[in-house]
Amino acid sequence: AKNRGRNKFQAFTAELYDELQSRVRNERELRNAIATEGLLLHFQPMYRAADNAICGCEALVRWRHPGRGLVAPDEFIGLAEECGAIHELGEWVLRAACREAAAWPGQMKLAVNVSPVQFRDPKLALRVASVLAETGFPAQRLEIEITENVLLNNDSANKKILAALSAMGCSVVLDDFGVGYSSLGYLGSFNFQKIKIDRSFINDSSTKRARGIIQAITGLARSMDIPTTAEGVETAEQLSWLREVGCAEVQGFFLARPGPADMIHALLNAS
């Protein structure tokens, strides 16, 4: 019995060791990708609900992995946050996205996702300002998408950074609204320029419950003069209902999937 216990223990440490090794390798590969243009941006169009005009794009990062192909962000953003590489990754995303968007027509906004971990850098607003200066992309057309985690614990340092971004002329957008812990409180504690209703509600919008939630969110936002975006629109029915309910902007596979910069150029030239 003693022996078996020892074997188990050895198997356990071997497994742990493998895990650790693959983690170290992943981290090394990711840092390398950030430093060597191994990342890639896709852009997903956003449309004005009133007339279906394209009004901007959201930048979504992918990892061009030599063995695994195009890796989705859900598979590496967490790792980047844990190992601290998210700061470099985030700056790469912002710079590459602004460079690209600088060639778009003037009415086009650019939305960039910023991780809560990036807010641990007190110089974040300064870094954003310097990327804007470097690329010539106007702050007024940049939308910083954050999740409510940024305001968790009523963090005053983070609020200062948000206020600085606002003062520069950037919009601050509350992403994934409705799925967090106490979303409503955050609307009172910071002046967001836009709210994105989480995809999960749009997905369920054939149910009375999800419709109720969406109507409550849009009603609340309207009473605060904050426009809403519906993300994850996948059907014509969803689109027409969301328009009726008063969402200002819509985004989703039904309208356009995320794609490379060339796809956006083709779209803009066709319209």
Give residues in contact with ligand C2E (CB under 6 A): 44, 60-61, 72-74, 77, 93, 113, 115, 175-176, 199, 231-234, 252-253, 258
φ, ψ dihedrals at 166, nearest 5°: -60, -45
Q: Give the nearest distance from C-beta 6 to ligand C2E in angstroms.
A: 43
Q: Give the nearest distance from C-beta 217 to ligand C2E in angstroms.
A: 16
Contact between 242 and 81 (Cβ < 8 Å): no
Helix, strand, or coil (residue 60): strand
Contact between 155 and 190 (Cβ < 8 Å): no
One-character DSSP codes across 187-242 = HHHS--SEEEEPHHHHHTTTSHHHHHHHHHHHHHHHHTT--EEE----SHHHHHHH
> What is the per-residue binding string for Ca ion in 221-260, x denoting contact by CB under 5 A?
----------------------------------------
Contact between 179 and 200 (Cβ < 8 Å): yes
Find, among 259, 203, 209, the residue nearest to 232 by Cα: 203
Find the DSSP H helices in 58-117: 77-83, 86-101
Q: Which is nearer to Ca ion, 176 or 249 (CB)?
A: 176
Q: Which of 81, 100, 176, 249 binds Ca ion (CB under 5 A)?
A: 176
Q: Give the nearest distance from C-beta 245 to ligand C2E in angstroms.
A: 17
Stretch touching Ca ion by CB under 5 A, among 40-48, 80-88, 111-119, 149-157: 111-119
Backbone region of residue 115 per phi and psi (left: phi > 0; alpha: psi in -120 to 50; beta: other values): beta
Q: Which is nearer to ligand C2E, 34 or 233 (CB)?
A: 233
Q: Which is nearer to ligand C2E, 46 or 221 (CB)?
A: 46
Q: Which is nearer to ligand C2E, 93 or 162 (CB)?
A: 93
Q: Give the nearest distance from C-beta 112 to ligand C2E in angstroms.
A: 7
**Is residue 175 at the binding interface for Ca ion, with CB under 5 A as the rule?**
yes
- Alpha carbons 182 and 167: distance in angstroms, whole number: 26
Q: Which is nearer to ligand C2E, 15 or 75 (CB)?
A: 75
- Within 127-166, the residues that bind Ca ion by CB under 5 A are 145
Q: Give the nearest distance from C-beta 70 to Ca ion in angstroms.
A: 18
How many chain residues bind Ca ion (CB under 5 A)?
A: 4
Kindly list the distances between the CA atom of residue 78 and the CA atoms of 27, 58, 190, in Å, as whole numbers in the listed order: 11, 20, 26
Q: Give the nearest distance from C-beta 39 to ligand C2E in angstroms.
A: 9
Residues at the interface with Ca ion (CB under 5 A)? 113, 145, 175-176
